[in-house]
Amino acid sequence: MSVNYLNGKAVDSCMKAQPDFGDILSPLENDVLRLLWPDRHLKVRGIYQQLKRKRKLALCSVAVILDRLHDKGLVKRDIEKARGGFCYIYYPVKDKDTFEKSVVEKTVDSLIQRFGPTAVSYFNERFANK
């Protein structure tokens, strides 16, 4: 069995590593999207109920994070009538694979824009042997 290292931690090669979007998303945003990515449509309270099992947080914190994800265009929401008013049903705009590809694309484009021919040359050298 081979052992690889991810962020300084040993990872069994048969385990599928979950990407961490810490440079793009806050830890709570990351956790919320992981709950929604299996193409779920969830209310704030449903997300809160699942997240509170592994971390201490308030319901309003989940609502604020979902609002921020909505503002960033990462989730959409539908309005549903509820007791005493309405509630939002949140769901992801992109599936996980599409989101990951868009992150890679933006990162590569940024590197090419910033470093120009040096970045292109590096990518050609790096991936020519694979």
Print the SS3 string covering the chain. CCEEEECCEEEECCCCCCCCCCCCCCHHHHHHHHHHCCCCCEEHHHHHHHHCCCCCCCHHHHHHHHHHHHHCCCEEEEEEEECCEEEEEEEECCCHHHHHHHHHHHHHHHHHHHHCHHHHHHHHHHHHCC
- Give a yes or no: residue 13 inside a domain: no
Residues 83 and 98 in one domain: no
Range of the domain at 35: 21-93
Q: What is the pLDDT of residue 9?
A: 41
Residue 2 banded pLDDT, cuts 50, 70, 90: very low
120 pLDDT above the threshold of 50? yes
Q: What is the pLDDT of residue 44?
A: 95
Provide the number of structural domains found in the chain.
Answer: 2
pLDDT in tens, 84-103: 899 999 999 999 999 999 88
Q: What is the pLDDT of residue 91?
A: 96
- Give a yes or no: residue 14 inside a domain: no
67 pLDDT above the threshold of 70? yes
Question: What number of other Cβ atoms are within 10 A of residue 33's Cβ?
Answer: 19
